[in-house]
Chains A and B, each alone.
Chain A
Amino acid sequence: MTEHTVSPLGAMILTYRVLVRQLFSLGRGAALAALAAAVILVAWAVGASDSASPENDALRVVVDLGFGVMVPIVVLVFATAALGDMREEGTLVYLWLRPMKRWPVVVGACLAAFVISLPFTLLPVVLSALVSGGSSDLVYGAMIAGFVGVLAYTAVFVFLGLLVKNAVVWGLTYILVWETVAAGFGTFPARMAIRGYTRSILTGKVGIELELADVGLTAGIMVPLLIALGAIILGSWRLSRLDVA
């Protein structure tokens, strides 16, 4: 009797392949694409208007619409569904009762949610920076902050999907209560919000002060990456201790 095993890379690719197909549907894609189009349209309207401070206006669109709404919520939809939906539906067992390590499954799930979220987040954010008349610094800043932010949100929300049953509701509460209201109450809550770091990256690039943005450019990039790593480690731990249906 031979005992087969699956390499970590194999497990990662396998999970990714399964989830990319399960996560994307035309309905979701169309709704989110329409939303992205609306954001870009607003950015374009802002860019087309006469303004005393075009860079500032462009930054506001990118920060409020892009990083305030599009990025966290799009990622929330896909990332909590990644392993969370499998767990709820009872299909997780097909990836769980296998001779595979846990962490590549979590990484593969993050990768799938990340790749699917990217066109609906990074694209509108960068395009709105472009069409709203922002400088090239803003465009690069949006690109870096978008990439880093989507990564961090993805890992955190994949973990959340493994942690609680109605992850979307808890994720929305985090986005609405913590990132939008509580983060404004002081340095500590701001440091505990991913929004603080994406804003720091933008501030670091364009040099315009934003609320919550109180760390440097390097920290703004590094901390979210560490958050993602931590969330993946916690997710793997959680996956191995899960009650699977």
Chain B
Amino acid sequence: MTTAEIFDRGYRRFDGDRSGTLGAVRSLAWHSMRGILGLGRKARHKIFPIVVIVLAFLWPIIFIGLAALFPIDIFADELRPEYWELARFPLVVMAIMLFSAMVVPEALVRDRRNGMLPLYLSTPLTRATYLLGKVLAVMSCLAIVTVGPALLLLLGVTFEGEGPDGPLNWAKVAGQIFLAGTGMAAVFAAVGLAVSSLTDRRAFASVAVVLVLFGSGAIVAGLVEGAEMSENLRVFNVVDMGIEVAPRIFGAAEGEGERGPEASLSDSTYLAGVFGWVGVSAAVLWARYRRIGAV
């Protein structure tokens, strides 16, 4: 009666140029970032990132607002925080921690839970380049709250004519802000990603990140202040290690502005602490991803 026939349903082959590994990493990073920030997702996915970003920018906005509304020279005043000081404000610290705990797990855990990871690994992405894309996405998101507030302050100050003298100095300050923000983002991203790699439940990953961030601080406080053990134990407080990146990059002298007790650590001890956290986190992350997701 009839012979078999397969109908052409209009599928087309892609004949254009392919962007290769670089393109794959870039688009993975970009779309992970969109997912984290809730862009292109329903409104309820956007609430959380917006709340956190508002928290982080509240202070610089208030400063700039006051300066714009009142003729008083608020930026020249002592009221004006140092650029690195912003990262120590409780609301900003909280914003950074919330981002690390609530949205960093989103970047890794969902792909494993939904079985997306093997699919990604079937593209030009390898385990290493996949993780690279995720690290880029997470650090870019964290940079919004680590670089953003200080950068906004710098712009506000410049607009009021109180900025650094000369384009060279201005560029130097801007560079320091970027460097400090990137450094902070790296520490928190590393810890957040390492912890997220350990569980397949996003909720537990969030809880675990909070426990590591808060727990390390509380335990160090107990040991150093309560039990009066060595000050060098402060390197185990990951939040302080992360936040301290900013004053160290700005080369803030002791006694200048508000600094935490970790300011007393020597540069070498401090560096050992920071690189220890990042290194151990990276090792955990890599150890997990070297094995899981294989088909």
Contacts and interface: CB of A to CB of B under 8 A. Distances in A.
A-side interface mostly:
helix
Contacts of A43: 222
Contacts of B53: none
Interface string B67-103: 0000000000000000000000011001001100110
A168 B55 CA distance: 20
Interface in A35-56: 35, 38-39, 42-43, 45-51
A78 to B, nearest CB: 11
Interface string B214-226: 1100110111011
Contacts of B218: 42, 64-65, 68-69
A222 B222 CA distance: 30
A121 interface: no
Contacts of A172: 98, 101-102, 206-207, 210
A95 interface: no
A177 B92 CA distance: 11
B228 interface: yes
Contact of A181 (B91, B204, B226): B91
Given A46-B226, A80-B203, A65 B219 contact: yes
B62 to A, nearest CB: 15
Interface string A18-33: 0000000000000100
B56 to A, nearest CB: 12
B222 A42 contact: yes
Contacts of A60: 221-222, 225-226
Nearest to A65: B218
Interface string B186-230: 000000000000000011101110110011001101110111110
Contacts of B208: 31
Nearest to B95: A177
B47 to A, nearest CB: 10
Given A38-B219, A169-B48, A172-B101, A45 B211 contact: no
Interface of A: 31, 35, 38-39, 42-43, 45-51, 57, 60-61, 64-65, 68-69, 73, 76-77, 80, 132, 166-169, 172-173, 175-177, 180-181
